[in-house]
Every structure is written in C-alpha cells, then in structure tokens.
Structure 1
Amino acid sequence: MSQNCDISTVMRRDQNMKYMTAGVTPLRLTILLLIVYMVAFADRQLPAMLGEEIAREFKLGDTALGALHGYGFAIFYALAAVPAGCLVDHVPRLRLLGLCLLVWSTATIICGLAPSLTQLSVSRLVVGLGQAALVPAAYSLLGDVWPRSRTGVAVAGFAIGPYLGVGSMLLLGGQLASFTNWRPPFLVAGLFGIGIAFIVLRWPELPPQKNISMREAAPAQHWAATLVYFRNHVVIIAAIDGALLFAAMAVHAVLGWGVIWLTRSHGLLLGEATLALVAVVLVGGGLGTIAGGMAGDRLARFDNGHGRLCLLGAAMLVAAPTAWAAFTSGGSTAALGLLTLLITLVAIALATGPAALQDITPPSMRGIQHGLAVFLVNMFGLGLGPLLVGMVSETFDDREAGLGSALATTVPVMLFLAATMAATGRYARCAPGRPFSTT
C-alpha cells in the first residue's frame, strides 16, 4: 500500500510539472474555475434578485416564485449531476466544462428574451442542465493539482465563487434592472458567460488522475470497486452530504428571499436592498469561506480525521439561533449585522464539507462522488429551500410580515438539522478499523 502511494505521489508530481510547463499553475487553474463558478451563481441567482418584477409581469404568488428560483432550476441540475459526475471521471474535464458553460449561458440569454412564463421556466431548466458538470469537474481538477494538505484552501478558493458571483450580480444586475427592467441582466450575464466559455475551451487540458490499482481497470472492475467504496463509506458520505444539503437549503432560502424580505419587512427600496445584500454576501461569504478552508486544513489532522466535521457542526449549531435573531430583529441595521454573521457561519460549513469529501475519495471516483453530492444538495437543498419559505409565507395573512416569520421559522430548523448530520458523521467509521481511509 505504501509503495503504491509513493508511486502515485511521484506520478502526480511528474504530471503537474508537465502541466505547469504549459504555462498553467494550480493557482491559475483555481482562478479560472473560480470565475466559472461566479458566472454560474450569477446566472442562477437572477430570478431571486429580480423576483418582484418577474412576479408582477407574469402574476406569480410566493409559492410559484419560490418554485421558479428553486425547482425551476434544480430539477435538471440535480438529475444530471450523477451522470455528469461519471462523465467527469472518463472524459477531458475542461472541454466538458467549456461546452456546458456555453449551453447554460445561451439558455440564460433565452431567459431574458422569454415572452411567457412557460418559455422562461424551460430555459431555466436548461440552465440547470448545463451547470450539472461544473462542481464534479472542478473538484476533480482541484484534487489532481493541489496536495491533500492544501485541500481546504483549494476548495475555499473555488467555493468563494458563489458569493462573488451573487454579489457582483446583485450589484451590477440590480442597478441595471433599476434603470431598465428585469430582462437586460439576463442578456448581459449570458453574453459574459459565452466569452468565458471560449477561454475555458482553449485552456490546456489536464489528464485525469487514477488510482494505481484502477489505472488499467476495465469498466466493470471500476464500477465494482466504486460500489465497494460507497458501501464501506456509506455512513460518513451520508453524514457529509446531509449536512451540506441542509446548509444549502438554508443559504438558498436566505439568498432566494433576501432582497424581497428587506423590501417587505424593513421598507428598503430595491436598490437599497440589493446593495445591502451585496455587502452581506461579499463580507460574510468571503470571510466564512476563507476561514473554513484554512481552519479545516489545520483541524483535519486532529480527532482521528474528523476535525473538518467538528468545525462544520459547530458552525451550524451557532448559525441556528443567529438565523432566528436575524429574521425577528426589528431594526434593519441589527438584522443586516446578524445576517452577515449567519452567512459567515454557513460559508464555513459549505467550504468544509466538500473538503471532507475530498479527504475520503480516491482520485478515480471524485467525479461521481461530487456528482452525488450535487444531486442531493440541489434536489433537496436548492429546490426545497426557497419553495418551503414561499409556502410557509403564504400561510400568514399579513404578506409584509409573513415572509420574515416564514424565514425565522424554517431557516433555524434547517441549520439545526445540518449540525445533527455533522455530529452523526463525527462518530462514523469510513472502513473497519481505518477511519477516513480512501480504500
């Protein structure tokens, strides 16, 4: 086993040296993936940011609006994630990523041109389908070019993309929409994404890393080994994915309804609410992601390899009462301060969970591992988060106060469930006698 590990390390070092001679470094690749992730989240956040204008044009209630932002994107995105993860393990990953970016950016443009709710909904489904390969491909690439001791920092460098993407779209798209209508931001975002897609397609391709024992394996042997791996690690994988699922459910509920909540409950204008949420997302998301990555790398060596899960669970446990306080606060200043703390804590969890998955996943199975995580997190996290808040909101007679009450009721429960799942994983063993092994 140690000999195979030594050979694998030498192969990775040689491969990375060849890759860097082409003018590409791990840092440059991470920045490229970060930009793509920014584009992805900017595109998927548009219906949430422009929800009130879209609802007025198509006469939508809160439940329908939540469905458009949630399952209107998440169904195809989640269902395609596992097949996309399998592709990632077997095809050139950057070529696949560039083509997917081209597809979802074109669909984003079509969203901005849609004359009916049906065409807008179908275009949103295509955006989700196009983005399905992004996360599995990115984590597979990052795992190949960064050493395990830097996993948390590498994942954090990529995972900060959603906050930068949402922040930039809230800032630029919100201001553009305030001077025009909801359609131009879709067009601008789509055209920008197409430009980035051509850069990705021209980027030097990195050959996939494989385990020494799996390098020459036939497809049947590969799938048999994959099934054995998942069977031996089912508890820890379920715990990490479950914690990420509930954390994502909470953050998408907050991001999906944040601007609307600030306008309804605190009387802010659309431009003011947009700028306020930009500050919250950039500060909280940036600090939490960086802190989660750095702290996770330090803690990964402790507690028999479960340090990252301890950090994830602790962050979610503190986040639950913070969410309740934020959405029940009467003053906008206090609410925004608490909301910043909430986003910081959730960002710590969302940076820590994928790094924990990287720790326990062999290189040849990273695509399907993260594809499964994308399926679970988005089918139930992104899909249900905004939808549940919208459904609970409509049970209140007072439309203005009902949304805040719905957020204060649902988000803390989601975060507490995330902490519970992390605690479950803390006591799991990946394989008999070898916690957090990758075999």
Structure 2
Amino acid sequence: MKETRGDSALGRAYVLFILVLVYTFNFIDRQIVGILAVPIKAELALNDTQLSLMGGLAFALFYTFLGIPIAWLADRSNRVWIMTIALSVWSAMTALCGLSQNFIQLFLARLGVGIGEAGGVAPAYSLIADYFPPHQRARALSVYSFGIPIGSAMGIVLGGVLTTHLGWRAAFILVGLMGLAIAPLFRLTLAEPPRGRFDAPGTSLAPAPFAAVLRTLARKPSFWLMSLGGACSSMMGYGLIFWLPSFFVRSFGAELPGFFAWLPRFLLPQEPPALLYASYFYGAILLIGGVIGIWSGGALADYFGRARRGAYAMIPALAFLASLPFFVAGVLAPSLGVAFIAFLAIQALSLV
C-alpha cells in the first residue's frame, strides 16, 4: 500500500480525510459511554457517583497529564507512528470496556482509553502544519475540527442503535474493533512529512527544551487565561455529553417517541426503548449544533480578527457566557421541544 506524501491537492485531501477519520473515532470512543451509561448502570448495579467516576475521572486522569509529554515526543519522533499506536491503544481499551464485569474493570478500561486518546490530537496538529502551507492551514484545521461533532454524534447514535439490537457490551467491542481496523490503514497510507517544510528559510527546526517552553508560557497571562477558559469549557461540555442522555431518558422518556413519529419504520425496532430515541435526539443536537458552532465561530473570528487579534479569544469567551441562560432553560425545560432548542444552542455556542 502506497504512502501518501501530500505533494498534490488530491494527496493533501486524503491526508485530511484520514486525519478527520481518526479524530472522529477519537470522539466516538470517547463519547459512546454517555449513551451506554443507562444499561451499564442497570447491569452492573452502579450508582451515579460510580458512573461519574467511570465516565469522567477515569478518562480525564491520564488524558490530561499525558497530553504534554506526548506533544513533546511528537516534536522529536515519528508522528504517524505515535498516532497509530495511540489509535490502537484507545480502540483496544474501548473494546475491553465491553468485557468488563464490574466497576473496577470498567474504570481501568476507561483509564486506558484516556491514555490512548492523549496521543491522538497534538501529533495531528503538527502533521497538518507540515502537510499544508500557511495559506491553507486554517481551512485544514477547521475541517479537522468537524471530527468533534461528527464523532460525538456518531458515538451517541451508534451506541444507541448497537445497544438496542446487540447490547452495550457489543457496542463497545464493535466500535473498538472498527478503530483497530483503521490503525494499519492509517500507518500504511500516511507518510511522515519533512518537519517544518513550510517554515521560513533559516527557521530552526530543533525543538526548544521543555523547561524553556514552560518558562515562556509561565510569563504569559494570556496562556493561563486561555487554559482556564478551555478547562471550564471542557468541564461543561464533557459533563453534559455524559449526563444528558440519562437526563433525556429520565425526564422526557414518555415524550421521546412522539418527537420521532416522522421517522421511517426501518430505523426503529418493534418496540424501541427510550434509549434509542434519546440517542437520535441527542445525536441530532450534537451534529447540527456542532457544525453550526464550528462554522460560525471560524467565520466570526476571521471577520473580527482582522481588526483586532484579541477577537480570536474574545468570541469563544462571549459565546461561553451566552450559553448560560440556555443551560438553565434546558435543564428546566417544560417540554422536549424547548429542551432541544436550548441544548442545540449550547452545543453551537460551546464550539464557537
């Protein structure tokens, strides 16, 4: 199988396609647990605290702390191999989630998913920088970002469909195996590009010492403010995506079938459970809201950023604040329609 080096427009299109595909599976495996929480809780007799530890802490613990050393490694090693190994690890650990017999085993498997996914993003950004010249880079990064709503929506919908027909264990195993199938394709068809090939002549390609990078960042208030904003946004986003499927089932289980009365019958089994309806409902919110948010955020940043560079940070900050009243409206929604509009707005604003 021939490696793609991205020397042509078609080659770069393939590079972007395979990177988006991997990023999509990054979010499928990350978010599928949200829709599976209901059957997992029932079968393993877990309480909500255990669910939150399994869905939140288990994933975030190593995902957070391993991101920096893996980014350091990506500056010095073969990025295609790093992403191949990362994809293989998080896919295998996702499949192992389906074999878990108790809370501890499931917690450890989700820990492994976080370890693998820590190596999935930083090398991809670096590869995009070396595959796409500066005038194409922003567009490539925006296309890459669509892996977030696509993967999140697919994780929720696939989880609901597979669980309805095969059970939650099969859902974990099948999506994990799909990721493992992509890993050799990724490695065999994507070449490691020359590092810094689009940099200005005379630019040093030697990576800066880690301590020097830390000292530089420590002196930048903007770095800490951006990090705080990103942390708050992630806390809200991941909390919502884990708990909202359960919230919809518990609060609007009786209304969900009527909301999807227009669906063709082949998309629904004989007596579809509320979980399947919730997966369609929330999957639509994630996909539609995510696409709107990413597209509008890029357009707004480009428009206002030309006059003031601070707009690149101010626009998502204002969008984050604007989501607060919609959050209150969604949680207190008297009907499923109101909840849909409120959480659609939240999803769009969170990705601006």
Change (3 A) 1:60 1:103: same
Task: Determine helix, strand or coil for the equivalent of 1:60.
Answer: coil
Change (3 A) 1:264 1:207: same
Counterpart residue identity of residue 330, structure 2: A
**1:200 matched to 2:186:** yes
* Maintained 8 Å contact 2:33/2:55: yes
- Offset at residue 46 of structure 1 (A): 2.3
2:303 counterpart residue number:
298
2:121 counterpart residue number:
135
The separation in 2 between residues aligned to 1:204 and 1:151, in whole angstroms, is 18
Change (3 A) 1:288 1:44: same
* Maintained 8 Å contact 1:150/1:297: no
Correspondence for 1:214 among 169, 194, 204? 204
* Maintained 8 Å contact 2:6/2:131: no
2:37 counterpart residue number:
51
The aligned length equals 326
The separation in 1 between residues aligned to 2:281 and 2:10, in whole angstroms, is 40
- Offset at residue 294 of structure 1 (A): 3.0
The separation in 2 between residues aligned to 1:317 and 1:117, in whole angstroms, is 36
* Maintained 8 Å contact 1:153/1:297: no
Counterpart residue identity of residue 129, structure 2: G
Superposition map of 1:296-375 within 5 A:
296-303=301-308, 305-348=309-352
Correspondence for 1:281 among 279, 282, 286? 286
Task: Determine helix, strand or coil for the equivalent of 2:351.
Answer: helix
- Offset at residue 147 of structure 1 (A): 4.5
Task: Determine helix, strand or coil for the equivalent of 1:70.
Answer: helix
* Maintained 8 Å contact 1:323/1:338: yes
- Offset at residue 181 of structure 1 (A): 1.6
Superposition map of 1:406-417 within 5 A:
none
The separation in 1 between residues aligned to 2:80 and 2:303, in whole angstroms, is 30
Change (3 A) 1:213 1:43: same
2:213 counterpart residue number:
226
Task: Determine helix, strand or coil for the equivalent of 1:20.
Answer: coil
Counterpart residue identity of residue 47, structure 2: G
Task: Determine helix, strand or coil for the equivalent of 1:334.
Answer: helix
Can you give the 5+ residue segments of structure 1 that lack an aligned partner in the other structure?
Answer: 1-16, 349-439
The separation in 1 between residues aligned to 2:140 and 2:111, in whole angstroms, is 30
* Maintained 8 Å contact 2:34/2:241: yes
The separation in 2 between residues aligned to 1:46 and 1:57, in whole angstroms, is 17
* Maintained 8 Å contact 1:155/1:293: no
Cα-Cα RMSD: 2.2
Counterpart residue identity of residue 125, structure 1: L
1:105 counterpart residue number:
91
Alpha-carbon deviations, 1:288-347, whole Å to 9, x = none? 1122123323333221x2121121122112111111111111111111111111100101
Change (3 A) 1:318 1:22: closer
**1:72 matched to 2:52:** no
Question: Whose RCO is larger (CA < 8 A, sep 6+)?
Answer: 1
Correspondence for 1:165 among 147, 151, 155? 151
Change (3 A) 1:21 1:266: closer
Which structure: greater helix fraction? 1
The separation in 1 between residues aligned to 2:103 and 2:143, in whole angstroms, is 36
The separation in 2 between residues aligned to 1:40 and 1:71, in whole angstroms, is 17
* Maintained 8 Å contact 1:149/1:297: no
- Offset at residue 20 of structure 1 (A): 0.9
**1:176 matched to 2:162:** yes
Compute the TM-score of the two structures, normalised by the length of structure 1: 0.70
- Percentage of matched positions with identical amino acids: 28
Alpha-carbon deviations, 1:123-168, whole Å to 9, x = none? 1111111111111111222233334455543332112212111211
Can you give the 5+ residue segments of structure 2 that lack an aligned partner in the other structure?
Answer: 257-273
